[in-house]
Structure formats: structure tokens, C-alpha cells
A = this chain, B = another copy of it.
Amino acid sequence: MTTPVGSGAVVDLLGALAYAELTAFDRLAEDARLAPTLDGRAALARMAAAEIGHHGRLHDRLAELGADPGEAMAPFVRVLDAFHESTRPSTWLEGLVKAYVGDGLATDFYREIASFLPEPDRALVLDVLADTGHADFAVREVRAAITANRAVPGRLSLWGRRLVGEAMSQSQAVIAEHDRLAELIIAGTGDLSGVALLIERITRAHTKRMKALGLNP
């Protein structure tokens, strides 16, 4: 990618992601308490710990770029908090589906945008987005629950679809409010049909994740 990227857009993206990691920590830590076993609780707590490690790296990079990390995160607090408020899991399995399906969706989205960034920020973002063990653990637990109880997949499929709906509407809101991010996406994808292809790729990956859990996308 040779698109010139304004440093403002880089700060926006790193700020959004830094706050996303901080809320991911919160949420995984909260959901850990829903775990039916001490092992499950520790597994989610370890994932939360990985997120805060990522947060620290993004925070340090923002400072290195001369940005105030708190200010860079501030514009994304409301919308990310709103997303988590509106998708608060009420069971351990809902929490796992959110960790896998919701975070997977967010990760794909940030990863697409990261490909438009210059180095070293592209590598940093791709690195902090690397799976922290959510995937295998969530897939294993959810599939086991589905085998044990046939009512589970129907309810969790609905939950998965609700997560996507909320994620889509919140990310549209973020982009609409942040011109520099919107410009970055348009410039990076080339044009609006590029944007449509990006959404298609993200949707396809989401469908694959729902199926991996044994759910109906």
C-alpha cells in the first residue's frame, strides 16, 4: 500500500484500538466471573491480561508519536462503551460467543484498516490483533455445550446475529464521526466498491466463525 496516510488517522486508529483493548480487558475480566469452573475463570482472565498487554503497547506508541494517549482514546469511549453495554452477556456461553465472534469481527475490521497504515504502525497493529487464545478455547467450550444441550445453538445463533448488528451500527457511527478514519478507509480501499468488498470479506469471515462454533450465521 503506498497511500499516504496522515498521522492524524494513525493516531485515531491507534487511539480507537487502545481503548478497545482496555474495554476488552474489562469485559473479559467481568465475564470470567460467569465461568462454571476455576479453570474457565483463569482462562478468561489470562485472555484479559493479554489484552491489557496490547493496550500498553498501543499506549506507548501513541506517546512516542507525540500524542496524548488519553486524548487519543477519548473520542472512542462513548461508542465502545455503548457497544458493550448493549451486548452484555448474561451467561458464560454468551460471553464466549462474544469473545470469539464479536472480537473476531472487530479484529478483522482493524486488520483491514491496518493494511493501509505505514510501518511500523501496520506491524504493531497486526501484532496486537494476533489471537490471544480466545479462538480455540471458545470453540471448544461452545461446541461441548451444544453437544450437551440441543436448545443451546438456537439461542446462541440469535445472540451471534445480535452482536453483528450492534457491531455494524456502532462501527458505522464511529466512522461517520471521524473524517480522518473515513478518508483512510476510502483512500485505502480505492473507492466505494472497495469498501463494499471490505465489508464482504468481513462478513464472510464472520459466517465462518459462527459455523465453527456450530451456530447458524
Contacts and interface: CB of A to CB of B under 8 A. Distances in A.
Interface of A: 19, 22, 25-26, 29-30, 32-33, 37-39, 41-42, 45-46, 48-49, 52-53, 55-56, 59, 69-70, 73-74, 77
A29 B56 contact: no
A56 B30 CA distance: 19
A42 B59 contact: yes
Nearest to A55: B42
A46 to B, nearest CB: 6
Contacts of A45: 22, 25-26, 29, 52, 55
Contacts of A59: 42
Protomer copies: 2
Given A29-B26, A32-B26, A46 B52 contact: yes
Given A39-B69, A48-B52, 10 more contacts: A22-B38, A22-B45, A25-B48, A37-B70, A38-B69, A38-B70, A38-B77, A42-B52, A42-B59, A46-B52
Please report whether the interface of chain A is mostly helix, strand, loop or mixed according to DSSP: helix
A41 B42 CA distance: 21
Given A55-B42, A56-B42, A70-B39, A48 B29 contact: yes
A162 B38 CA distance: 29
Nearest to A49: B49
Q: Which of A25, A29, A74 has the most CB of B within 10 A?
A: A29
A85 to B, nearest CB: 13
- A-B pairs with the 8 shortest C-beta distances? A29-B29, A49-B49, A45-B52, A49-B52, A38-B70, A25-B45, A46-B52, A38-B73
A37 to B, nearest CB: 7
